[in-house]
Amino acid sequence: MAYQKNIMPIAAPSMEQVSSDMAGIGMNINAPSNFEANIEDTLVFASIDGMDRDLLRTLAVMTHWLHFHSRIVNVDRLTRLIQQERSVRVRVYWASIAKWKNNDPRFRKLAKVYKGQRIDLTSGTGFHVMRHGEDERFKDGPLRVPANVLRQRDRDIWPIEKMQERNLFVRYRLIIGPVYRADMWAMLDLNPELTTAELARRTYGSFSTAWNAHRDWRIVNHA
């Protein structure tokens, strides 16, 4: 059977798995760390937990992670994932993040995933906004967030220096850039026996990108 590229994960993870994946990409939460978690998958499923299940602690930590580490996100793939997301609330969140990150041109397309009216983060948003004002990260964006709801605590996020020591995917994204090839090199370091097709499937990349990465990785590693 010919290889067909698929950017979507096969199945949604459990809430426990999402927590482990978040820990694995540098969010300091009480869960075992899955250092092989895909960064974009983790962000999307964490945003679903945060927005659709009202897990504001999850949303707060992830939003603060984006403050420090958005540069290692494959924004092109993230945008394609959110474009296929059925939840309006999740699309509103990511359109708001894109507005916040508007100085990074990679986020411009993501800003278009929602074009409706502003919505409130929670039912008590109006009251909290009157008392505390709006969260500056979301101000004038499609999601109205009170300033005192999504806490910003630096110790909740690993610094990039610590992340790259423990997570090969982060390390290679720093070296190569936040692209499929970087994830392929990390995956091959962890699983040298992968076929080209399986490498492409596991990293959501194209067969040609995986073939080139596989060839070059073998050259460098004398494999």
The DSSP-derived string for the chain is: -------S-SSPPPHHHHHHHHHHTTB--SS---TT--HHHHHHHHHHHHHHS--HHHHHHHHHHHHHHGGGS-HHHHHHHHHT---HHHHHHHHHHHHHTTTSGGGTTGGGG--S--EESSTTHHHHHHHH-B-TTTTTSSEE-BTTTS---GGGB--HHHHHHH-HHHHHHHHH-SSHHHHHHHHHHH-TT--HHHHHHHHT--HHHHHHHHHHHHHHHT-
What CA–CA distance (Å, rounded) separates 106 from 55? 27
Answer yes or no: do 180 and 137 share one domain: no
Show which of 123, 139, 154 is a domain's final residue.
Answer: 154
Confidence (pLDDT) at 2:
52
Compute how many other C-beta atoms are within 10 angstroms of the C-beta atom of residue 4.
Answer: 9
**Number of structural domains in the chain:** 2
Strand-strand pairing, 119-120 and 143-144: parallel
Q: What is the pLDDT of residue 9?
A: 85
Pick out the chain residues at pLDDT < 70.
1-4
Q: Is residue 6 situated within a structural domain?
A: no
Tokens 């482990």 belong to residue: 20
Query: Is the same domain home to 47 and 124?
Result: yes
125: in domain: yes
**How far is residue 87's CA from residue 46's CA, in Å, rounded to a whole number?**
13
Is 1 part of a structural domain of the chain? no
Does 133 share its domain with 51?
yes
Which of 113, 131, 154 is where one domain is finished? 154
Pick from 144, 154, 160: nearest CA to 73: 160
Q: Are residues 53 and 125 both part of a single domain?
A: yes
Is position 92 within any domain? yes
Indicate the residue among 106, 139, 154 that finishes a domain: 154
Do 136 and 190 share a domain, yes or no? Answer: no
Q: pLDDT (tens digit, 9 = 90+) per residue, 172-201? A: 999 999 999 999 999 999 999 999 999 999
Question: What's the confidence (pLDDT) of residue 54?
Answer: 85
Q: For residues 212 and 180, what is the distance between their CA atoms, to the nearest angstrom? A: 11
Cα–Cα distance for residue pair 67/168, rounded to 1 Å: 21
pLDDT value at residue 4:
60
* Structural contact between residues 197 and 214, judged by C-beta atoms closer than 8 angstroms: no
User: Does residue 42 contact residue 175 with C-beta atoms inside 8 Å?
Assistant: no
Model confidence pTM above 0.85:
yes
Tell me, yes or no, whether 96 and 79 share the same domain: yes
Domain holding 214, by residue range, is 160-221
Q: Is residue 84 part of a domain?
A: yes
- CA–CA gap between residue 201 and residue 187 (Å, rounded): 11
pLDDT (0 to 100) of residue 58: 96
Are 138 and 63 found together in one domain? yes
Tokens of 6: 């698929």
